[in-house]
């Protein structure tokens, strides 16, 4: 399995979804693409056979506005038909701008209000502990999202309950809708904060699959406390004019920009 090519196809679908809808969030979807690709194609116990079962790994996209990356991953996993992506953000489509668990198999929690997704993930992990389940829970957070106080209440709860079956991932691309996180609200330093809340902190290059694999393997070996992977990423990764530009947090490309992006990603406009 060529994860780089699968992630490349995900990026093409992300850009296409946002372009066709003329609405959506490409920047943070592209930055999280390699992490989510690895999760669904290599790390998580999820398949067509068990997608409707509670007895499997779970994924919560706490930064729910990055729904294109989740839908693109479900296509690569064979849980969603690629043709359905054309309904992204359309009225009466099941592929809404924020994921809805009631309509899409493989979406484990409806998210959108930042800070709340991690609460659901902590609850799932705690339920698994009570049930003595070996299934794991994964949750992707945005760095701007970590300006929400609720996030830290959840970290405290996860640590207190020794949820070593919970793996959090921080998409650390440094940018949010209004600019650099350090100038908007200053939630850093993350490593020291997470350690203070009792989590195992692991850092990796969020665009290097070998580094990503090592990070998830380390998280699985940790016992007695939850882990968080700080994935160093680039907003808009893969599309040159979107990279490190917060203006692409929630903006759709025009015809010319779409053609250029697809050319860079090896696809057809």
Q: Where are the domains of the chain?
A: 3-264
Tell me which long-range contacts 208-217 makes (C-beta under 8 A, separation of at least 24): 208/34, 209/3, 209/4, 209/34, 209/38, 212/34, 212/35, 212/38, 213/38, 213/42, 216/38, 216/39, 216/43, 216/167
CATH number of 3-264: 3.40.50.970
Predicted model pTM = 0.97
Q: What tens-digit pLDDT sequence spans the chain (269 residues)?
A: 699 999 999 999 999 999 999 999 999 999 999 999 999 999 999 999 999 998 999 999 999 999 999 999 999 999 999 999 999 999 999 999 999 999 999 999 999 999 999 999 999 999 999 999 999 999 999 999 999 999 999 999 999 999 999 999 999 999 999 999 999 999 999 999 999 999 999 999 999 999 999 999 999 999 999 999 999 999 999 999 999 999 999 999 999 999 999 999 997 76
Query: Which of 78, 29, 3, 44 is CA-nearest to residue 261?
Result: 29
The 10s digit of each residue's pLDDT in 60-78 is 999 999 999 999 999 999 9
Ramachandran class of 165: left when φ > 0, alpha when ψ lies in -120 to 50, beta otherwise:
alpha
């Amino acid at each position: 399995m060529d994860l780089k090519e699968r992630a490349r196809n995900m990026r093409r679908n992300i850009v296409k979804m946002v372009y066709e809808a003329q609405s959506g969030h490409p920047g943070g979807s592209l930055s999280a693409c390699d992490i989510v690709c690895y999760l669904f194609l290599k790390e998580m116990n999820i398949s067509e056979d068990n997608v409707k079962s509670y007895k499997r790994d779970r994924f919560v996209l706490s930064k729910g506005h990055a729904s294109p990356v989740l839908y693109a991953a479900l296509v690569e996993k064979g849980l969603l038909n690629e043709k359905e992506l054309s309904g992204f953000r359309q009225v009466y489509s099941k592929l809404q701008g924020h994921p809805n668990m009631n309509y899409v198999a493989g979406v484990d929690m409806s998210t959108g209000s930042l800070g709340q997704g991690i609460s659901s993930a902590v609850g799932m992990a705690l339920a698994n502990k009570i049930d003595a389940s070996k299934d794991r829970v994964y949750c992707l957070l945005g760095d701007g999202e970590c300006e929400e106080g609720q996030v830290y209440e959840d970290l405290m709860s996860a640590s207190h309950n020794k949820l070593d079956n919970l793996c959090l991932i921080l998409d650390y691309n440094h940018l949010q809708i209004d600019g650099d996180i350090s100038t908007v609200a200053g939630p850093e330093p993350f490593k020291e904060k997470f350690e203070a809340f009792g989590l195992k902190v692991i850092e990796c290059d969020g665009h290097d699959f070998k580094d990503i694999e090592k990070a998830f393997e380390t998280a699985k070996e940790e016992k007695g406390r939850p882990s968080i992977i700080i994935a160093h990423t680039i907003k808009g990764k893969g599309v040159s004019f979107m990279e490190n530009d917060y203006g692409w947090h929630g903006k759709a490309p025009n015809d010319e920009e779409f053609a250029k992006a697809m050319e860079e990603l090896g696809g057809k406009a």
